[in-house]
Amino acid sequence: MQTKPFRIGTRGSPLALAQAYEARDRLMAAHNLPEEIFEIVVLTTKGDRITDRSLAEIGGKGLFTAELEQQLVAGDLDLAVHSSKDMPTVLPEGLYLSAYLPREDIRDAVVGRTAPKLIDLPHGATVGSSSLRRQALIRRMRPDINVITFRGLVDTRLRKLQEGQVDATLLALAGLKRLGKVEVITDILDPDSFPPAPAQGAICIESRIGDTRVDELLAPINDAPTFDTVSCERAFLAALDGSCRTPIGGYAVCEGDQIRFSGLILTPDGRHHHAITIDGNRRDAAALGTRAGQDVRARAGSSFFEDWS
């Protein structure tokens, strides 16, 4: 392998940096390469700059990735490290998700101030979350809860909680683990009643199609079960058009050469939903996710995606 430095792009949030360093450390270990071979390049994205409105309002997931992708296409970066769940289902031409690191825990965690569990919060309690999926799932479980938009860095959200702005908030367990903050967690939600976002807990690497030097670099750190489960989940999202405006949850699990996917779409008020569980061969992971999405979409009908907001 050549030893010209690899430029690794990342956002500058503490979580993004932790993920970029994890990817770099795995690359160093897999190839027995020194730190100097990797240069971590930190970019600020539009999604980082605008923190007072929900993602759906300001234009969706691509806001966290556009700057990194422009530099990948231009050749100023060799790879970019992302949270897979923040990745749009359609990538710019010439780029692809070339590797996935071994997945962290996929579940959502509760950080409760006035009660540890969502079911025990006082009547009419306020919960902060800007995720449409989490908002809808909370309302399904507890229609009396007042859900307010709550964006920003993990530390900002925890500070707002401490200040008493909300009774509880929800965060991805994976992010809290990567930041070394698991001690704030008061409950962990069962993925069957509270499905995570597709691709939650998985770090992916985006790079140029046909860049064999980078493909060879990444091959030994790619985790096959994560690649298959996330490909299945992202195909589900894509079949439902991945719009930021529909609450969508779902996760896949591999066992031997088999994969099982469970997915859910719901209305923002949490009152209506359509669910699916589907099994197949891991070879067909993406096709399975597509079929699950098409099935749910057909059962829900087009009005499901428009009528409720």
Question: Do residues 203 and 82 make contact, with C-beta atoms less than 8 angstroms apart?
Answer: yes
Minimum distance, C-beta of residue 299 to ligand PBG, in the bound complex (Å)? 28
Active site (catalytic) residues: 86
Site for ligand PBG, residues 104 to 143, rule: CB under 6 A: none
Question: Do residues 229 and 178 make contact, with C-beta atoms less than 8 angstroms apart?
Answer: no
Contacting range for ligand PBG; rule: CB under 6 A; set: 2-10, 166-174, 183-191, 240-248:
166-174
Question: Do residues 169 and 129 make contact, with C-beta atoms less than 8 angstroms apart?
Answer: yes
Contacting range for ligand PBG; rule: CB under 6 A; set: 27-35, 198-206, 208-216, 283-291:
198-206
First to last CA, the chain: 53
Q: Which of 171, 205, 239, 264 binds ligand PBG (CB under 6 A)?
A: 171
What is the b/e burial string over 186-221, where b = at least 16 CB atoms within 10 angstroms of the residue's CB?
Answer: ebebebeebbbbbbbbbbbbbbbeebeebbebbeeb
Q: Which of 174, 217, 221, 248 binds ligand PBG (CB under 6 A)?
A: 174
Rounded to whole angstroms, the Cα distance separating 215 from 283 reads 21
- Closer residue to ligand PBG, CB minimum distance, 197 or 265: 197
Contacting range for ligand PBG; rule: CB under 6 A; set: 110-118, 169-177, 213-221, 262-270:
169-177
Rounded to whole angstroms, the Cα distance separating 98 from 219 reads 9
Determine if 86 is a binding residue for ligand PBG (CB under 6 A): yes
Question: Do residues 107 and 173 make contact, with C-beta atoms less than 8 angstroms apart?
Answer: yes
Distances (CA, A) of 121 to 156, 157, 173, 184, 215: 22, 18, 20, 17, 49
Rounded to whole angstroms, the Cα distance separating 25 from 141 reads 41
Q: Which of 10, 83, 135, 267 binds ligand PBG (CB under 6 A)?
A: 83
- Closer residue to ligand PBG, CB minimum distance, 176 or 264: 176
- Closer residue to ligand PBG, CB minimum distance, 172 or 205: 172
Q: Which of 88, 128, 175, 191 binds ligand PBG (CB under 6 A)?
A: 175
Sign of CA dihedral 65, 66, 72, 76: negative
Minimum distance, C-beta of residue 180 to ligand PBG, in the bound complex (Å)? 14
Determine if 85 is a binding residue for ligand PBG (CB under 6 A): yes
Task: Give residues in contact with ligand PBG (CB under 6 A).
Answer: 83, 85-86, 171-172, 174-175, 200-202
